[in-house]
Amino acid sequence: GNPFPEQTSRAGKSLLKLSVIGLGFGINIKIVIEVGAGSLLITLISISATILLGEMLGRWLKIRSNTRTLIAFGTAICGGSAIAAIAPVIKARDEEIAVSLATVFTLNALALILFPPLGHWLNLSQEQFGLWAALAIHDTSSVVGAAAVFGSVALTVGTTVKLTRALWIAPCTVITGLILKSSQRPSIPLFIVGFIFAACINSWLPALETLWGSLYGAAKQALVMTLFLIGSGLNRGVLRQVGIQPLILGVMLWFAVSMTSLAFISAEVIG
């Protein structure tokens, strides 16, 4: 087993976010805007459906209201970032936040490792895999990670669609706050801001293309180390901490989102 689970977990999460920022140097912001605008309707429908399904399954599994809401938001929008944003609005307790984060993190780590080989096995194109990763993997950082492993086109498509989803943190949090009459303000994760900034610099300063290429290459190397650190953090202790009911909800939601999005992509209904 891993003798330093807490240290590798922290290092993995930090390195993953830094890798995401660095991978922004390989993205053209104009393409981000074009693809993002084109995926707005898909994003709105899938987020709404996932949150609704999460609430229904959570009630059926008799999971606490806050816990099921956190897991549903985390699955629908962008994992831990969405959970962190919505938690103060619904006045979630620490243990509810911890269980939800552990559920999403466990499934997120599995997706980061499993999705690239699954994509090859399913003979998905670069565009199809990028879209599937964006719709089915929880965290923005892990979508970028999995897509970067699959290919550069998958990285562009996956990142842009997921960024569109991530930006829904603000309106979803505001709407939830209005419904619950909460005064908490929404926040957008800093690494997402950093990624967009890196993509803007890469697009607006082409004269420094060599430098941006080097930073992009370094980020891809850092991503390999990140995959190792995250993989080493998956063990029985993590699964025991999550508990069976929230994990069942997380798996059911994840499976439903993954299979539905894959079916639509394969049938060319979306994409």
Residue 111: which of 132, 93, 87, 90 has the closest Cα?
A: 132
Q: Using an 8 Å Cβ cutoff, are 80 and 67 in contact?
A: no
Higher-confidence residue of 35 and 104: namely 104
Token code pair at residue 92: 């979630």
Higher-confidence residue of 31 and 103: namely 103
Task: Give the HSE-up count for residue 186: Cα atoms under 13 Å, Cβ half-sphere.
Answer: 18
Of the chain, the end-to-end C-alpha distance in Å amounts to 41
**Number of domains forming the structure of the chain:** 1
Token pair 């960024």: residue: 163
Give the range of the structural domain holding residue 33, as residue numbers without chain letter.
5-266
Between CA 29 and CA 201 the distance in angstroms is 9
Instruction: Give the pLDDT mean for 35-54.
Output: 80
pLDDT of 54 higher than 90: yes
Please tell me the predicted confidence (pLDDT) of residue 220.
Answer: 75
pLDDT of 219 higher than 60: yes
Q: What is the mean pLDDT of the chain?
A: 81
Domain assignment present for residue 271? The answer is no
Token code pair at residue 157: 């498509």
Instruction: Give the pLDDT mean for 126-134.
Output: 92
Torsion of CA 121, 145, 27, 199, to 10 degrees: 160
The answer to whether the pTM exceeds 0.85 is no
